[in-house]
Structure 1
Amino acid sequence: MDFKLSAEESRFAEGVRAFLDQQAQHPDAAEFMAPDRDAHSQLANSPERRAFCKRMGAQGYLGMSWPEAYGGQDIPGIFEYLLNEELALRGAPLIGKGVGCIGKTIIRHGSEDMKQRFLPLILDAEVEFALGYSEPGSGSDLASLKLKAEKDGDGWVLNGQKVWTTSANFAEWYWVAARTDPDAPKHKGISVFLIPMDHPGLTVRPIETMGHHWTNEVFFDNVRIGPEALVGELNKGWTYVCEALDFERFTFYTINPLLQKFERALDALRTTTRNGVPLADDIGVKRQVGRLGAEVETAKMLQRRVVDAAAKGQVPAVEAAMYKVFATRLGQVLTDFVLDHLGPAGLLRSDAEGAVDNGVWEHFYQTTPLDTIGGGTSEVQKNIIARRGLGLPLK
């Protein structure tokens, strides 16, 4: 695999950096560029972040790999990868669910009316989506979901509950998986619907998690929807869910934040002393840093496999799962390593006197576990690797 950028790709990356340098001068830049806000930095969850996304759309950065017939530029996905890496480095919102998960799945499977309705909104950053998959008893085993969608004339009535729905507190539309055939095998009787978040019968209840990250539980109480809400074919939703999750993993899990975190770890070790000697000069610390550096390079190569598969027009399911498991765990290991050596000073928050690197390591300690959950838990990723990559049977 040759991952050297072409002249065109290098020019594009330089153009993105110039655009972001310009955006960094914006009066609200601190509100939409925040590298330390791990869990939230990829979300357009504020007016300032949504305005930034609109400026990205005006720049032509949204939906670049989409077909020209649907407003895209029909260019290789490598350009979206390069864009997301630069955005992640600045802590700016990524191109996200609308362009990746929702948009690409609608293009592949949605009705023509659904394409005409939603794709222009996505390209103009006029709409945000929430993904309704997990339930109280259906997290890792997503196919066991129990949210009922019962036929009602030419539409459906939905009753049940979803949980851990990031973005439900600010999104306009809900991309939700529901059981439409209770008698079919669990992978076969699922359909996907697009429902407005302000629909009668929908109730959103926020849940605050570690790292000051907000997710939500959503309750369905006789939510009546019409036939236009169905995505693709009835009872084919499991296929769409899997594809959308594959696109999500490719879109969200960039490598630059991990590389940046490793460099910050080195800086923390260089500037922190023990008995008057920088931690970075300790021979034991050096050995551990060498090992971590090798693992960071391994993560980089695993991520390159994701990009390579996507650039060839494949859905990088196994590659994305391998990278996500390895990289998110490495983020935790790296944070633990730094905190172990910083001692009590590493646990100080940003507003505390003597906090190392403005308290960022205490923050990372709270946020890195979330990365192992979003987009499918590490256990789910291991099942994907076992089943799709190794051909092992499920019990």
Structure 2
Amino acid sequence: MAMELTETPERLAFVEAIRDFARRECGTREQRAALTAGGTESHSRLMNDKIASLGWSGVALPEEYGGAGGGVTDACLLLEELTYGRVPVFGLGISMIVAKTVERFGTEEQRHRIIGGFCRGEVSSVAMSEPDSGSDVASLTCRARRTDDGYVIDGQKTWISCAHYAERIQLVCRTDTSGPKHSGLTMLEVPTDADGLTIRPIETLGGREVNDVYFTGTRVRAANVIGTEGQAWTQLTAGLNFERLVCAAIFLGHARRAFEDALEYVNGREQFGRPIGSFQVIAHRIADLATELECCRALVYDVARRVDADPERQLPREASMAKLKVTETAKRIAIEGMQMMGGAGYTTEYEMERHLRTTIISTVFAGTSEIQREIIAKAYRR
């Protein structure tokens, strides 16, 4: 579906190559089960390494750091198609966000090491949320105290995706408590094998995807600051276009797959002597979902093109619209897909129950739907 929104023969060939890879590597339930420990893990190191070896991981990153020199549109195509193809590389999108942050704010040494490592298959995680700091990120209290040669970190982060298989964590912590809550925040690179760092899984509907992360006297060098000390809030805001488009592209892929699985079922399942998809109540539901899906695709790639045309331009309204619309639609498609499939949609014999478990949380993480609506609404206040 995404091919109609691409503009060049190179992008058409790129999409076809991703689809061929997904069919070959993850085309059967048996393959996917083997790669995800029976569906309990969302990231396969094997698949991630293969994608890196093909040169795809760094598609939107500069060539001088090991990337392919493409744009945000190319990143969206990659993430959408990998997700649609059910390739289990959940850590890829998060690592891409970290790499883009380092590209914008990191030192040359950090760019070569972190971006280069990502392009070779390394995984990064992001740690912002805390037990008492969720949507109000600026209220976080995890503290990094400055020492002669670096920082000592103490505190807890929670709901941290990918930390259990990441090489590093991009930590947002407080280095100064003297000013307003949006000031005094700093980004630090923390290796996951650092002393005093403990990662504990949080069991969820989706399997093992998120973690509690504890810092107890964890030391990092002064050179591990990403950007400028005390300026993490400004740096986070600058990266929101990309972060929200990454999320939107991933869940556009989920939405497409859930829709096609539902469509295949209703066209094959017969009741009262004909396919249930031929009954008006089902046919109209399919029509509505297909229309919503097309709207999502158009929105994601319109915003991606705008970012590519002017990478420094902030698009808070449009990027939030993309994240809001796609995740809400993906969740709706999974819920309605399960309803159309009846009991079959609830069983593990079919993958609709997995789609539901995956999409149900999409409207919560990376900025809840409520937060996205508030950001959008601000653009219309007088």
TM-score relative to the length of structure 1: 0.84
Gaps of 5+ in 2: none
- Offset of residue 296 of structure 1: 1.7
1:130 is paired with a residue whose SS is: strand
Q: CA RMSD for the aligned pairs?
A: 2.8
Match of 1:214 in 2: 209
Q: Deviations over 1:264-289 (max 9, x none)?
A: 21222223344444321222222232
Change in 2 beyond 3 A, CA 1:209/1:245: farther
What is the CA deviation profile of residues 203-241 of structure 1, one whole-angstrom value per residue up to 9, with x for unaligned ones? 211111113243111112222222012111111111222
Matched, 1:124 2:110: no
Structure 1 residue 362 corresponds to structure 2 residue 369: no
State the partner residue of 1:353. none
Contact kept, 8 Å, 2:363 with 2:369, in 1: the verdict is yes
Instruction: Tell me the alpha carbon deviations over residues 318-347 of structure 1, each in whole angstroms, 9 at most, x when there is no partner.
Output: 333212211211222222223334434432
Q: 1:123 to 1:163 in 2, by over 3 A?
A: same
Q: Deviations over 1:118-147 (max 9, x none)?
A: 22211111x211110101111111111111
Letter in 1 for 2:275: P
Instruction: Please say which of residues 250-259 and 165-174 is displaced more in the overlay.
Output: 250-259
The match for 1:107 is: 103
TM-score (norm 2): 0.87
Contact conserved, 1:305 with 1:319, CA < 8 A, in 2? Answer: no
4+ residue segments displaced more than 6 Å: none
Question: 1:135-150 residue pairs with structure 2 within 5 A?
Answer: 135-150=130-145
Match of 2:79 among 76, 84, 108: 84
Q: Is the 8 A contact 1:245 1:375 kept in 2?
A: no
Contact 1:131 1:165 in 2 (8 A): yes
> Secondary structure of the equivalent of 1:78?
helix
8 A Cα contact 2:150 2:222, kept in partner: yes
Distance 2:27 2:297 in 1: 31
Distance verdict in 2 for CA 1:363–1:193, change over 3 Å: same
Instruction: Please give the alpha-carbon distance, in whole angstroms, between the structure 2 residues aligned to 1:65 and 1:114.
Output: 17
Which amino acid letter does the alignment assign opposite residue 324 of structure 2? V
CA distance, structure 1, for counterparts of residue 32 and residue 343 of structure 2: 29
**Contact 2:60–2:67 (CA<8 Å) still a contact in 1?**
yes
Q: Which amino acid aligns with 1:324?
A: K
1:13 to 8, 15, 35: 15
CA distance in structure 2 between the aligned counterparts of 1:297 and 1:3, rounded to whole angstroms: 11
- Find the counterpart in structure 1 of residue 337 from structure 2: 338
Question: Partner of 2:243 in structure 1?
Answer: 248
Contact 2:161 2:211 in 1 (8 A): yes
**Aligned partners of 1:134 and 1:145 also within 8 Å:** yes
Q: How does 1:1-395 map to 2 (within 5 A)?
A: 3-20=5-22, 23=25, 29-30=31-32, 41=42, 45=43, 49-92=44-87, 93=89, 95-98=92-95, 100-125=96-121, 127-254=122-249, 255-314=252-311, 316-347=315-346, 349-350=347-348, 358-387=349-378, 390=379, 392=381
Preserved contact between residue 250 and residue 316 of structure 1 (Cα < 8 Å):
no
SS of the residue 1:185 aligns to: coil
CA separation in 2, counterparts of 1:184 and 1:345?
56
Asked whether the 8 Å contact 1:202–1:220 carries over to 2, the reply is yes
Gaps in structure 1 of 5+ consecutive residues: 351-357
Report deviation, 1:309: 1.9
Tell me if the contact between 1:102 and 1:244 (Cα under 8 Å) persists in the aligned partners.
Answer: no
Q: Compared with structure 1, are the counterparts of its residues 15 and 286 closer, same or farther at alpha carbon in structure 2 (3 Å cutoff)?
A: closer
User: Structure 1 CA distance, aligned partners of 2:344 and 2:17?
Assistant: 40
Change (3 A) 1:241 1:74: same
SS at match of 2:160: coil
Matched pairs, number:
371
Letter in 2 for 1:299: C
CA distance in 2, matches of 1:336, 1:76: 33
Q: How far is 1:24 from its partner?
A: 5.6
